[in-house]
Structure formats: C-alpha cells, structure tokens
C-alpha cells in the first residue's frame, strides 16, 4: 500500500482526487495515538451495533474522536484559509499542483 498523497501545506490527504483534512499536527503523538485507537474502536462499535441506539452512540463516538483529532470542526490552521474537505483537488487552489502529480 502506498502512502496517501499530501498537499504541499500538509493540511489534506488526497484520496481518489478528493481532499480530506488531516489530523492536527500540533497534537502530541501519544494523544494522537489514543484518539486514533478510540476512533477505530468507535468504528468497530458502529459496524457491530445491535440496534439503532447503539449505532447512534457509536456515531457520536466517531464524531467526537474526529473532532478531537482536528479532522472535523474548526480548522487547526490560523491563516484564514477555508476548509476544503471533500472538495475535488482539481477544483481548488491545489489544482495546478494536483495536475502535476502522478496518477493515484
């Protein structure tokens, strides 16, 4: 498996041409690992939920972990740039850079 493509500013991963916000690089590594562990556990709980209530609780855990990682909610950068999560790289300010990248 190859490493995902990262935008030059390190804010996004590019997956199948789409931008996905990265975790906040200011998070201490041990805290980031704890949150990733919780995120994966919450995703498993969602997959394995026996009913709608359990599934909703698991969704809330996923959302909380993603917020704590900086992948959702307020952006972790402070230069006023908008959040382009889910946008196609080719339709953003990254278009020229993305066009120069080898096919994913």
| pLDDT for the residue 2 | 79
| pLDDT for the residue 15 | 94
Place of tokens 């995120």: 39
Could you give the CA distance from residue 39 to residue 30 in angstroms, rounded to a whole number?
A: 14
Could you give the CA distance from residue 89 to residue 104 in angstroms, rounded to a whole number?
A: 12
| pLDDT for the residue 1 | 65
| pLDDT for the residue 76 | 97
pTM tops 0.85 = yes
| pLDDT for the residue 102 | 86
Mean pLDDT by 10 residues, the chain (104 residues): 89 96 97 98 97 97 98 96 97 96 79
| pLDDT for the residue 73 | 96
| pLDDT for the residue 4 | 87
Instruction: Answer left, alpha or beta for residue 7, where phi above 0 means left and psi between -120 and 50 means alpha.
Output: beta
Could you give the CA distance from residue 73 to residue 66 in angstroms, rounded to a whole number?
A: 8
């Amino acid at each position: 498996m190859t490493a995902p493509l990262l935008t030059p500013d390190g804010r996004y991963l590019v997956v199948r041409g789409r931008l996905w916000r990265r975790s906040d690089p200011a998070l201490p590594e041990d805290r980031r690992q704890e949150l990733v562990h919780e995120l994966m556990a919450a995703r498993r709980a969602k997959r394995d939920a026996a009913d709608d209530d359990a599934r909703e609780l698991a969704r809330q855990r996923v959302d909380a972990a993603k917020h704590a990682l900086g992948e959702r909610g307020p952006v972790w950068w402070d230069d006023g740039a908008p959040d382009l999560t889910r946008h196609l790289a080719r339709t953003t300010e990254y278009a020229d850079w993305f066009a120069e990248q080898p096919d994913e």
